Amino acid sequence: MNIKEIYDYFIETGMKNDPRTAGEVKAFLAREKEKYDELKEDEKKEYDLEALTNPYSDTRILHGDPAQPVERAMVGIDIDAGEVMLADRLGEKGKKVDLIIAHHPSGKALSGLHEVMHLQEDILVKYGVPVNIAESIMEPRIKEVKQLLMPMNHNRALDAAKLLGIPLMCAHTVADNQVVHFLQELLDGEKPRILGDLLKILKAIPEYAEATKYKAGPEIMLGSENRSAGKILVDMTGGTGGSDKAFENLSRAGVSTIVGMHISDKNRKKAEENHVNVVIAGHIASDSLGMNLLLDGLEKKGVEVISCSGMIRNSRV
């Protein structure tokens, strides 16, 4: 595979397991095309053309020739200058890294992270929240995240990759979509009656079992082992944490338990006020599960994967 083929595979697989239907994703891209066509010529020069075919603003090839073949990829949850130097050092030791793949975004994929959060509106609608409410509660949260991202040093890892001549890409929501699809399908099938049963199901998954050894595995944040699980929502995609106002509306729509990667204290308090159980599966373990479900496809096509930066590699090939 070359870099472009890996990128296309990630986008295709991300769309295949998107919480939205294929028709909804297609409609999203069609609206993006309409926005682009309406831009003035000088505005089009500033437009990221990838957005016309890739609905995930946080997944991009950041550096490197897309046609470059990849025999070995180094994959990490967070990639910064240190990891880029590690890849260069591996090359010096005879283990050349052809591509670095980060899960968490950097460069323009980080500065544009907030754009993918509209996906959360569609998830809320899917679980019974009226569309006008979903859009209203997400709008200020998306603006808040954009503001938080603005002062960040987006290009640290990218600049290091350019200086050392190592291709770099990131795969964020495309991987998060995998873990959501995997866990939601599993829990819908298993139908755990109580939170204790739900916890056992999660801990049987290799990535969470490994994280448990390091005291970073699944935990019940709100509720107790004997409390009924009820209707379960796996909430792990859409850029970053959503609006604290979502819990009231999800509770009204019949959601009893949320399974997430992590939760802010503000959102935890809102979930508690609205009697929503919260099970935290673990951030890095969940990210690893999502990435593994993507990386298995690369492994099948002959790409060797080296893990770093917290990535818990578990092959299902």
- Do residue 69 and residue 188 come from a single domain? no
- Please answer whether residues 309 and 76 qualify as being in contact, where contact means their C-beta atoms are separated by less than 8 angstroms: yes
Query: Given pLDDT bands bounded at 50, 70 and 90, which one contains residue 44?
Result: very high
- Do residue 233 and residue 169 come from a single domain? no
pTM over 0.85: yes
- How far is it, in rounded angstroms, from Cα 263 to Cα 181? 19
Domain range enclosing 252? 178-282
Tokens 């609006």, located at residue? 243
Strand partners, 63: 168
- Do residue 224 and residue 297 come from a single domain? no
- Do residue 294 and residue 240 come from a single domain? no
Averaged pLDDT, 235-254 = 96
- Do residue 302 and residue 258 come from a single domain? no
- Please answer whether residues 6 and 62 qualify as being in contact, where contact means their C-beta atoms are separated by less than 8 angstroms: no
- How far is it, in rounded angstroms, from Cα 279 to Cα 57? 28
- Do residue 278 and residue 295 come from a single domain? no
Averaged pLDDT, 64-80 = 98
Strand partners, 255: 231
- Please answer whether residues 3 and 292 qualify as being in contact, where contact means their C-beta atoms are separated by less than 8 angstroms: no
pLDDT at 312: 98
DSSP string, 84-102: HHHHHHHHHTT---SEEEE
Domain membership of residue 314 (yes or no) is no
pLDDT at 276: 98
Domain membership of residue 316 (yes or no) is no
φ, ψ of residue 18 to 5 degrees: the values are: -65, 140
- Do residue 152 and residue 191 come from a single domain? no
pLDDT digits (tens, 9 = 90+) for 204-224: 999 999 999 999 999 999 999
DSSP string, 30-65: HHHHHHHHTS-HHHHTTS-GGGGT---TT-EEEES-
Closest alpha carbon to 219 in 236, 244, 187, 196: 196
- How far is it, in rounded angstroms, from Cα 254 to Cα 198? 18
Q: What is the CATH number of the domain that holds 54?
A: 3.40.1390.30
Counting the structural domains of the chain, the total is 2
Domain membership of residue 313 (yes or no) is no
